[in-house]
């Protein structure tokens, strides 16, 4: 039986191995940081680009008429008409902060409140819940791109900063299943955020909402909404469109 032998590593060898270990950990952390940075850039870069463009539009909209979509215009092959005029500043699935995904598109008229009209993008049956100050929703029984499926179009921010409604008078609170044609006046762009006295920029938020058993789903969750690109014939998907201003081709 041999006595247990204890091996002692030379101090210089210990330092070398320690340095190599630290270097390996550093390289791993640096690689992880690069990956996270690249993913963050991919996620938010397009949103930053659109924010800069939007600020230019809001400060000097008259200098950029070619950036503006036109209300009631239909792009070639698309079933929906543009619901309002203005710069489409934010797109579907844009990201502005961690965990946030934009559920529709934001169209900024570049005007004051109660100036830029909002129209129905497609025929359907309009409802306005009793507590809705700035919003209406239109039921479309037959999705033009997927026949047999029911969908809803949602329009909001049609109120002033205090919640004073800018929705057209034929659609008071509590309205239910009122048939509207494509192009029916729904109201005007406003700046109501949902919190009185805390306004947003004057715009229309428009989204296409899925249906379940005859009822619209919660629009606040992007999984309950559809990419509006094929419905309006424009590149409106924030993940796919990094820098193209969405307007109908001439």
Q: What CATH number is attached to the domain comprising 159?
A: 2.70.70.10
Distance CA 103, CA 132 (A): 18
Cβ-proximal residues to 103 (8 Å cutoff; 6+ apart), any chain = 92, 207, 219, 220, 221, 222, 224, 225
- Residue 216 in this model has a pLDDT that exceeds 80: yes
Question: For residue 117, what are the β-bridge partners?
Answer: 188
The whole-number pLDDT of residue 46 equals 56
Residues 231, 208 contacting (CB under 8 angstroms): yes
**pTM for the whole structure:** 0.81
Q: What is the mean pLDDT of the chain?
A: 87
Distance CA 236, CA 105 (A): 7
Please, which pLDDT band fits residue 31 given cuts at 50, 70 and 90? very low
Structure tokens given for 248? 């109908």
Query: β-strand 86-90 against 105-108: which pairing, if any?
Result: antiparallel
| Token pair 């497609």 in the structure block, residue | 122
Please, which pLDDT band fits residue 22 given cuts at 50, 70 and 90? low
Over residues 179-203, mean pLDDT: 96
Residue 49 lies in a domain: yes
- Residue 2 in this model has a pLDDT that exceeds 60: no
Q: Which helix (H) or strand (E) holds 198?
A: none
Residues 126, 118 contacting (CB under 8 angstroms): no
The beta-strand segments (E) located in 157-203 are 178-180, 185-188
What domain count does the chain have? 1
Domain hosting 94: range is 41-232
Residue 152 lies in a domain: yes
Q: What are the distances in angstroms from CA 114 to CA 164, 191, 220, 224?
A: 11, 9, 25, 29
Q: Which helix (H) or strand (E) holds 37?
A: helix 11-59
- Residue 92 in this model has a pLDDT that exceeds 50: yes
Over residues 184-198, mean pLDDT: 96
Distance CA 30, CA 24 (A): 10
- Residue 43 in this model has a pLDDT that exceeds 70: no
Residue 24 lies in a domain: no
Residues across the chain:
250
The whole-number pLDDT of residue 110 equals 93
Residue 23 lies in a domain: no
Residue 15 lies in a domain: no
Residue 184 lies in a domain: yes
- Residue 212 in this model has a pLDDT that exceeds 80: yes
Please, which pLDDT band fits residue 25 given cuts at 50, 70 and 90? low
Decide which of 18 and 198 is more confident: 198
């Amino acid at each position: 039986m041999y006595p247990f032998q204890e091996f002692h590593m030379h101090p210089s060898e210990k330092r070398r191995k320690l340095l190599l270990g630290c270097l390996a950990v550093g390289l791993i952390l640096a690689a992880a940081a690069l990956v996270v940075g690249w993913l963050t850039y991919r996620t938010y870069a397009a949103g930053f680009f659109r924010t800069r463009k939007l600020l230019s539009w809001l400060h000097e909209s008259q200098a950029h008429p070619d950036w503006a979509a036109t209300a009631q215009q239909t792009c070639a092959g698309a079933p929906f008409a543009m619901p309002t005029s203005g710069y489409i500043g934010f797109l579907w699935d844009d990201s502005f902060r961690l965990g946030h995904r934009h559920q529709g598109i934001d169209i900024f008229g570049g005007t004051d409140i109660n100036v830029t009209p909002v129209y129905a993008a497609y025929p359907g049956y309009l409802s306005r819940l009793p507590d809705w100050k700035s919003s209406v929703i239109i039921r479309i029984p037959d999705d033009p791109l997927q026949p047999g499926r029911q969908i809803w179009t949602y329009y909001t921010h049609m109120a002033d900063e205090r919640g004073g409604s800018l929705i057209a008078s034929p659609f008071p609170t509590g309205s239910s299943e009122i048939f509207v044609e494509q192009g029916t006046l729904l109201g005007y762009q406003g700046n109501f955020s949902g919190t009185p006295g805390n306004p947003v920029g004057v715009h229309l938020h428009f989204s296409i909402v899925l249906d379940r058993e005859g009822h619209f789903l919660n629009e606040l969750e992007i999984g309950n909404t559809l990419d509006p690109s094929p419905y309006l014939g424009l590149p409106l998907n924030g993940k796919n469109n990094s820098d193209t201003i969405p307007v109908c081709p001439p």
